[in-house]
Amino acid sequence: MLAVETITKRFGGLVAVNAASLKVAAGSITGLIGPNGAGKTTLFAVIAGFEKASEGRILFAGQDITAQPAHLRAQAGIARTFQIVQPFAGLSVVENIAVGAYLRHSGRAEAQARAREVASLVGLGAMLDQPASSLTVSGRKRLELARALATEPKLLLLDEVLAGLNPSEIRDMIPVIRQIRDRGITILMVEHVMQAVMSLCEDIHVLAQGRIIAQGTPSEIATNPAVIEAYLGQGAAKRLQGSAGMGADHA
């Protein structure tokens, strides 16, 4: 579905993404993780067309979209959510979602019907006529997800859709993400909530200092020394191995 090939993104002298490559299989939930400042959101912006790649190329469903602007990528079937949720505060929930639906449905009635269907999928069916400004953090996250889904994407880029939620809200959101995938939408997600990443993703890529340093299944990533050091610092993997060894000796 998606192939990112040696993408580099520079901002002046700063290299935010450095020759990063990854693939996302159709029908999968793929994770992109890494410490703060690793370049994850910048890579998302390049994939979605909000930033231009300095080098490399992006293939979507076999087509080179590297030079395409964001609106053409949206029409092709790429949608993304944003870390900082900014709904149209003066509009209702259903009107906010309908903004996304207008990409495929030019008529107001059709767009609103699509918006109501999407709202039900993400758990906002009872809040359709509420002003978006009245939603809780959890409600706004669901609204952000719904606005992206209303564009009827083939590939959905989720940028920390679980950030700011409490544990029970995260538990409630995980089945929603699975249900979206089960409807045939491929998902690439940036996320810091490791419990959710390990539960949802079949394949995970790890970005650190702009580079992909590891790729594999959740179990492979959880025990990868390079990943442990990227999160916990140099020497952390050896320290953890030593602690495990001491625990085994005491046992």
In this predicted structure, what is the pLDDT of residue 241?
A: 55
Q: The CATH number of 2-77+153-250 is which of 3.30.300.30, 1.10.390.10, 3.40.190.150, 3.40.50.300?
A: 3.40.50.300
In this predicted structure, what is the pLDDT of residue 236?
A: 53
Integer Cα distance of 132 and 140 in angstroms: 8
In this predicted structure, what is the pLDDT of residue 201?
A: 94
The structure tokens listed for 105 are 């449905």
Tens digits of per-residue pLDDT, 25-79?
A: 999 999 999 988 899 999 999 999 999 999 999 999 999 999 999 999 999 999 9
In this predicted structure, what is the pLDDT of residue 244?
A: 47
In this predicted structure, what is the pLDDT of residue 40?
A: 93
Q: Strand pairing of 155-159 and 186-190?
A: parallel
- Environment class of residue 250 by beta-carbon count within 10 Å: exposed (0-12), middle (13-18) or buried (19+)? exposed
In this predicted structure, what is the pLDDT of residue 36?
A: 86
In this predicted structure, what is the pLDDT of residue 147?
A: 93
In this predicted structure, what is the pLDDT of residue 222?
A: 87
What's the pTM value of the predicted model, to 2 decimals? 0.88
Closest CA to 132 of 22, 116, 141, 150: 141
Integer Cα distance of 165 and 173 in angstroms: 9
In this predicted structure, what is the pLDDT of residue 11?
A: 95
Helix axes 225-232, 236-250, angle to 10 degrees: 110
For the chain, domain boundaries = 2-77+153-250, 83-152
Beta carbons within 8 Å of 11's beta carbon, 6+ residues apart: none
In this predicted structure, what is the pLDDT of residue 250?
A: 45
- Environment class of residue 248 by beta-carbon count within 10 Å: exposed (0-12), middle (13-18) or buried (19+)? exposed
In this predicted structure, what is the pLDDT of residue 235?
A: 60
Integer Cα distance of 33 and 206 in angstroms: 5
Distance of CA 151 to the CA centre of its chain: 16
Which amino acid appears at position 243 of this protein?
Answer: S
| pLDDT beneath 50, residues of the chain | 243-251
